[in-house]
Amino acid sequence: MKLKKILIATTNKGKLREFKQLFENTGIEILSLEDMPERIEVEEDKETFLENAIKKAKKYGDFYKIPVIAEDAGLEVEALNNYPGVYSARFYSIDFGGKVEVKENKDKANIEKLLKLMKDKENRKARFVSVVVFYYPEEFGFWTEGYCYGEITDKPKGEKGFGYDPVFIPEGYSETMAELDPEEKNRISHRGKAVSKLMERLKKLMN
Ligand code: ITT
């Protein structure tokens, strides 16, 4: 199999930036949805990360007819019954725990709601989950997953990364994920781990 270009099918700029870094020096050209001639809407309405990631990969891959990587990711918090989970991107807007108004941006509204729900919780354990699907239209596909374990802080800190990074301290660290350099985050993150497994599979397929 020859693989020259892969479309990273995400509307999230933070994710796209990290995927591009992870594929640096692989000889594979990374395209984003902005390089595509036409936009399509894909609704994430499934109950698991895997089903959402498969749905995104298939819709984009079949529409644009090029190899695609799609990811569904999120934060699972033990004391909140693993919420926000698959609702991570739109946690602020769901009934669970009450809705929160978006003032500056969605990431900040999600964090505001999470910290409110975690206010008196002693158990701060959480993990980031990434499920990544590679799909080669009409031929085959596979998926990998990665986890990053840590704890939820009581206030946001750091400006790097995106999403819930300012309130997540990875195991073994004293800084939040948003205080880590991008290379360091990619080395330990759920996404970094899922992508390195994916690359192992791709290497075998390309030989
Ligand atoms: P696409 O579906 O277009 O890829 P999205 O933002 O909707 O973009 P997801 O459905 O996978 O992506 O939702 C992931 C949400 O989980 C994301 O918006 C963040 O709030 C959170 N998240 C995922 N990975 C994260 C990370 O590395 N750091 C912080 N938050 C993360």
CATH number of domain containing 121 = 3.90.950.10
> What CA–CA distance (Å, rounded) separates 158 from 193?
22
Which residue's CA lies nearest to atom 18 of ligand 1? 89
Neighbours of 31 (CB within 10 A): 17
pLDDT value for 1:
73
| Low-confidence residues of the chain: pLDDT under 70 | none
Euclidean distance between the first and final Cα of the chain, in Å? 8
Active-site residue, 107 included: no
pLDDT attached to residue 2: 76
**pLDDT value of residue 134:** 98
Catalytic residue among 35, 45, 62, 72: 72
Q: Which of 12, 22, 195 maximizes ligand 1 atoms within 8 Å of its Cβ, making it the mutation to test the pocket? A: 12
In the reported structure, the alpha carbon of residue 121 is separated from the centroid of ligand 1 by a whole-number distance in angstroms of 24
| Model confidence pLDDT, tens digit, residues 143-199 | 999 999 999 999 999 999 999 999 999 999 999 999 999 999 999 999 999 999 999
Please identify which residue in the block is written with the tokens 């085959």: 140
- Centre of ligand 1 to C-alpha 14, Å, is 8
Give residue 186's pLDDT: 97
Q: Whose CA is nearest to atom 17 of ligand 1?
A: 89
pTM: 0.96
Q: Residue 12 belongs to what domain range?
A: 5-206
